[in-house]
């Protein structure tokens, strides 16, 4: 178990918090690019406890500014998108797309240099595979990772979204290191509901192992029974990514903290071509909204893995108190991940650079996880 103080360090995500400062060192998906249209070029978002506006200016460039104007605090979401920036609807102050520099201050005295001293908080935005990613940490920003699911061309892609989780991000991410939950939550649950989808996981688990690797935590699961197998799962990608195959599909899940008690999940689904042929890629993949997984009476549906996981994460509470838990041998992966998270928080506090950042362009063409048998992976 963790102490209450340790739990706070690993879960709180706002500006200046230990975990929040760590998470800001990584690019996070913030919006779906196709949702920013000429008719609706702005979107209000909250990420890591910060209220932001993401937009596409009249020149087609993407920007991300703090929502509340540096002048009088009015929401820039209601402002005017123009060339090179966003203009506040209250008094017309205009802020640059790229850096938030105040470009215009109508009605200030002619020749005033006041605007040169005003800058709206701004974060860099990049588009990849139809998603907009934001970097909220200190410069220089690392490279935006080109995960295989985002850049492969031998198949088709789609983006899945769902209603925000009503819980802290760590409850979802710890599940990635929880190897044995698949037997009961998925395999047994599906069996009792008369659904065949969980048969793969409905086998006796006779062994499990975890290790730290370049990208995060490796996972192994050994099945017994009449279909024995050693399953080497893709690694937990530090700090908040699940990389997983789902049947023929290859998927990446980002668990993006909205604030301390809400989490937005973005999923990129890549379906390889049966014959390996290249497929012409659209500028923006189609988007599928999976909703909130609830029945009309508010109960969890539990007929899919997504809904089963959501039940497990949310019913732990909005922010789970880990000082009350009792961990067993099957929780070694969770303990390992928490230890890694705490260590990397300390690295950032001491001015260092955490793991799993990408800075070498040569390693960022297409990042794969083919060699998951090794304790250290290479991109």
DSSP, residue by residue, 4-49: HHHHHHHH--STTSHHHHHHTTS-EEEEEGGG--SSS-EEEEEETT
Q: Tokens in use for 129?
A: 């595979």
Average of per-residue pLDDT across 135-141: 98
Average of per-residue pLDDT across 112-140: 97
Q: What is the pLDDT of residues 66-79, one digit of tens each?
A: 999 999 999 999 99
CA-to-CA dists, residue 193 to 64, 301, 315, angstroms? 45, 11, 20
Q: Does residue 215 lie in a domain region? A: yes
Q: Does residue 25 lie in a domain region? A: no
Triad 122, 255, 244: Cα angle to 5°: 130
Same domain, 166 and 276: yes
Q: Tokens in use for 204?
A: 């006796």
| C-alpha span between 171 and 240 (Å, rounded) | 11
Same domain, 189 and 123: no
Same domain, 39 and 183: no
Nearest CA to 98 among 78, 121, 76, 115? 121
Cis before 239 (ω within 30): yes
State yes or no: pLDDT of 274 exceeds 50.
yes
CA-to-CA dists, residue 139 to 53, 96, 278, angstroms? 20, 18, 37
Q: Does residue 300 lie in a domain region? A: yes
Which one is predicted more confidently, 378 or 256? 256
| C-alpha span between 87 and 70 (Å, rounded) | 12
* Pairing outcome for strands 287-289 and 155-161: parallel
| C-alpha span between 341 and 229 (Å, rounded) | 30
Last residue of a domain, one of 102, 134, 166: 134
State yes or no: pLDDT of 370 exceeds 80.
no
pTM over 0.75: yes
Q: Is residue 191 within a helix (H) or strand (E), and if so which, with residue range? A: helix 189-192
Taking each helix axis as running N to C, give the angle between helix 332-349 and helix 4-11, from 0 to 180 degrees, rounded to the nearest 10. Answer: 70
Residues contacting 215, CB < 8 A, separation 6+: 235, 237, 238, 355, 356, 369, 377
The predicted structure's pLDDT at residue 1: 81
* Pairing outcome for strands 50-56 and 42-47: antiparallel
State yes or no: pLDDT of 375 exceeds 60.
no
The predicted structure's pLDDT at residue 233: 87
The percent of residues in the chain predicted with pLDDT above 90, rounded, is: 95
Same domain, 250 and 221: yes
Same domain, 179 and 266: yes
| C-alpha span between 95 and 80 (Å, rounded) | 11
Average of per-residue pLDDT across 127-151: 98
Q: Does residue 307 lie in a domain region? A: yes
CATH of the domain at 293: 3.90.380
Same domain, 296 and 156: yes
Last residue of a domain, one of 110, 134, 158: 134
Last residue of a domain, one of 111, 134, 157: 134
Alpha-carbon radius of gyration of the chain: 22
Range of the domain at 355: 148-363
- Helix, strand, coil content of the chain in percent (nearest 5): 25, 30, 45
Cis before 376 (ω within 30): no
Same domain, 313 and 188: yes
Q: Does residue 286 lie in a domain region? A: yes
Q: Does residue 19 lie in a domain region? A: no
Q: Is residue 342 within a helix (H) or strand (E), and if so which, with residue range? A: helix 332-349
Same domain, 119 and 93: yes
Same domain, 116 and 187: no
Same domain, 161 and 108: no
Same domain, 196 and 100: no
* Partners of residue 272 on adjacent β-strands: 155
Q: Tokens in use for 322?
A: 């880990």
| C-alpha span between 35 and 301 (Å, rounded) | 28
Q: Tokens in use for 101?
A: 């520099």
Q: Does residue 372 lie in a domain region? A: no
Q: Tokens in use for 124?
A: 């860099």
Our count of domains for the chain comes to 2
Same domain, 328 and 268: yes
Q: Does residue 95 lie in a domain region? A: yes
Residues contacting 297, CB < 8 A, separation 6+: none
The predicted structure's pLDDT at residue 132: 98
CATH of the domain at 119: 2.102.10.10
């Amino acid at each position: 178990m963790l102490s209450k103080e340790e739990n706070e360090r690993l879960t709180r995500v706002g500006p200046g918090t230990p975990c929040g400062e760590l998470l800001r060192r990584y690019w996070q998906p913030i919006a779906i690019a196709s949702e920013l249209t000429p008719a609706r070029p702005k979107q209000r978002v909250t990420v890591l406890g910060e209220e932001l506006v993401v937009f596409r200016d009249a020149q087609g460039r993407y920007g991300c500014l703090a929502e509340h104007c540096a002048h009088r605090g009015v929401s820039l979401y209601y402002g005017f998108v123009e060339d090179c920036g966003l203009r506040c609807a209250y008094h017309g102050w205009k802020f640059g797309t790229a850096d938030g520099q105040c470009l215009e201050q109508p009605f200030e005295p002619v020749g005033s240099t006041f605007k040169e001293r005003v800058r709206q908080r701004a974060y860099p935005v990049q588009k990849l595979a139809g998603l907009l990613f934001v970097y909220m940490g200190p410069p220089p920003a690392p490279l935006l990772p080109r995960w295989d699911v985002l850049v492969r061309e031998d198949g088709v892609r789609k983006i899945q979204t769902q209603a925000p989780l009503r819980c802290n991000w760590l409850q979802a991410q710890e599940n990635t290191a929880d190897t044995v939950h698949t037997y009961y939550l998925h395999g047994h649950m599906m069996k009792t509901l008369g659904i065949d989808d969980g048969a793969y996981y409905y086998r006796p688990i006779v062994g499990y192992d975890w290790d730290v690797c370049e990208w995060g935590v490796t996972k192994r699961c050994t099945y017994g029974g009449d279909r024995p197998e050693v399953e080497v799962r893709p690694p937990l990608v530090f700090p908040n990514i699940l990389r997983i195959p789902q049947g023929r599909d290859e998927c990446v899940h980002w668990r993006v903290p909205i604030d301390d008690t809400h989490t937005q999940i973005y999923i990129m689904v890549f379906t390889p071509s049966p014959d390996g042929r290249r497929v012409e890629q659209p500028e923006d993949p189609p988007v599928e909204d999976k909703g909130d997984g609830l029945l009309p009476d508010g109960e969890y549906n539990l007929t899919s893995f997504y809904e089963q996981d959501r039940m497990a994460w949310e019913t732990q509470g909005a922010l789970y108190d880990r000082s009350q838990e009792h961990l067993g041998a099957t929780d070694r992966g969770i303990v390992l991940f928490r230890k890694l998270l705490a260590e990397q928080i300390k690295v950032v506090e001491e001015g260092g650079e955490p793991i799993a950042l990408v800075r070498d362009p040569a390693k960022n063409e297409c990042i794969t996880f083919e060699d998951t048998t090794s304790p250290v992976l290479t991109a």
